[in-house]
């Protein structure tokens, strides 16, 4: 199979660049709003949630803290601001799952009411009772999605609202640098004369 001739390649390259520029120009207000939201989330906690009610946020934050708890010298989901990632996710890429998450919270809170009469919400339980309830929560169908979203919020780029102060990256030992100098690792050490 022969490659396209240079004039055709140039045409497609120019067409792609034109399309990208037109898309950016047409979506600039949305891009600027998303960037402003991300910058706000990185600097401080937002004053209000965009997609969660305060009680939903309290329940989800408590669940996130049970999924990725903090330990002495090691921040968890609460310290990393994962709840703000969850709030943003449920209004963007995870929007199709928002109803399922809310239904899951209803099921979790039904477990709470059943096992702890007089308490209606997971977020209202103390940490010991939350932990004791986690095996039953983990058996619910929604738990896999919640665990995925919490991990994504903990370890994703901080511009998405979670991983505050790069806490998740610090746990992994990930160094956030714009560029790396060779050698990059054991696999190219000899190629660059490093010993």
Residue 39: pLDDT above 60? no
Give mean pLDDT, residues 129-143.
94
Percent of the chain having pLDDT more than 70? 56
Residue 74: HSE in the Cβ half-sphere, 13 Å Cα cutoff? 8
Residue 35: pLDDT above 60? no
Q: Return the residue matching tokens 């929560």.
A: 137
Question: What was the pLDDT predicted at 117?
Answer: 93
Query: Got the DSSP string for 122-155?
Result: GGGS-HHHHHHHHHHHHTSTTHHHHHHHHHHHHH
Residue 43: pLDDT above 60? no
Question: What was the pLDDT predicted at 85?
Answer: 84
Domain ranges of the chain: 1-44, 48-195
Kindly indicate the confidence band of residue 130, based on its pLDDT and cuts at 50, 70 and 90. Answer: very high
Which of the given ranges, 11-20, 28-37, 78-87, has the highest pLDDT on average? 78-87
Degrees (nearest 5) of the Cα angle 11, 15, 16? Answer: 120
Cis peptide bond upstream of 80, omega within 30: no
Residue 121: pLDDT above 80? yes
Question: What was the pLDDT predicted at 17?
Answer: 63
> What is the chain's mean pLDDT, rounded?
78
Question: What was the pLDDT predicted at 155?
Answer: 75
Question: What was the pLDDT predicted at 3?
Answer: 52
User: 6, exposed or middle or buried, with CB in 10 Å at 0-12, 13-18, 19+?
Assistant: exposed
Question: What was the pLDDT predicted at 150?
Answer: 87
Residue 109: pLDDT above 70? yes
Which of the given ranges, 31-45, 51-65, 82-96, 173-187, has the highest pLDDT on average? 51-65
Question: What was the pLDDT predicted at 93?
Answer: 82
């Amino acid at each position: 199979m022969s490659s396209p001739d240079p004039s055709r390649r140039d045409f497609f390259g120019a067409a792609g660049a034109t399309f990208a520029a037109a898309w950016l120009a047409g979506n600039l207000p949305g891009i600027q709003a998303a960037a402003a939201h991300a910058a706000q989330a990185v600097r401080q906690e937002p004053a209000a949630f965009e997609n969660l009610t305060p009680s939903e946020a309290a329940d989800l934050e408590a669940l996130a803290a049970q999924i990725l708890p903090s330990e002495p010298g090691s921040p968890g989901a609460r310290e990393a601001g994962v709840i703000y990632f969850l709030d943003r996710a449920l209004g963007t890429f995870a929007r199709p799952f928002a109803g399922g998450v809310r239904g899951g919270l209803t099921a979790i809170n039904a477990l709470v009411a059943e096992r702890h009469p007089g308490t209606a919400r997971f977020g209202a339980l103390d940490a010991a009772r939350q932990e004791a309830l986690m095996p039953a929560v983990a058996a619910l169908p929604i738990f896999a999605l919640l665990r995925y979203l919490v991990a994504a919020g903990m370890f994703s780029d901080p511009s998405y609202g979670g991983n505050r102060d790069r806490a998740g990256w610090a746990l992994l030992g990930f160094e956030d640098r714009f560029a790396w100098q060779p050698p990059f690792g054991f696999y190219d050490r000899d190629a660059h004369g490093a010993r």
